[in-house]
Amino acid sequence: MEAPPPYSLCNPNKKSTIINRSYALLHSVAISSLIFYRLSSFFHSTPSLPLLLAFTSELILSVLWLLSQAFLWRPFTRQTFPERLLQDKNDGELPAIDVFVCTADPEKEPPLEVMNTVLSAMAMDYPAEKLSVYVSDDGGCGLTLYAMKEAWEFGRYWVPFCTRFGIKTRCPKVYFSRFDDEFLGQGYEAEKERIK
């Protein structure tokens, strides 16, 4: 039996790898020379406080630069194929997905926006038994809890509506703010008005 095609491919970028590694090597030599120069100057004369502070800051920045090179050492491009995921939807081999929506402050993150995010995640075109949506309210706000209860009530109508008519825009706020509307089948307009 032939293996199914992958959902994504990672292609290493060889030209960028050579350039990034050459730059890292050159930069490492420069940093090593600077550190060697600073250390040797400390042995020949008594270091002053400003020189020690400058040396300490250079060491810290060198370590930070070294840690940032891990992302550039082997760059690659990722190519995804979401249409293959849709083709395999009936195979039952799709992985379970957990969606975490985090919120803390209802002033900065209005509960209506959080609930639009939750409803969008709940209405994804994915098997319901393999999709879990969690809301983490670090602020413990009662308003967010109330909004979540209301979103759950609305979701009982919204999710089947999206599934039945094949709605592509799953965020209620965006969907109802659109002006362009196409005919999606018998009973669509009446159902849309009822949901709205």
**Known binding-site residue numbers for UDP-alpha-D-glucose:** 108-109, 138
DSSP states of the chain as a string? -PPPPPSEEEEE-HHHHHHHHHHHHHHHHHHHHHHHHHHHHHHHSPPPHHHHHHHHHHHHHHHHHHHHTHHHHS-EEEEE-HHHHHHTGGGS-PPPEEEEEEE--TTTS-HHHHHHHHHHHHTSSS-GGGEEEEEEETT--HHHHHHHHHHHHHHHHHHHHHHHHT-S---HHHHHH-------STTHHHHHHHH-
What is the SS3 assignment for 11?
A: strand
**Which structure tokens are listed for 24?**
């890292």
Residues in binding site? 108-109, 138
- CB-count burial class (<10 Å; 0-12, 13-18, 19+) for 94: middle
* Cβ contact 120:135 at 8 Å: no
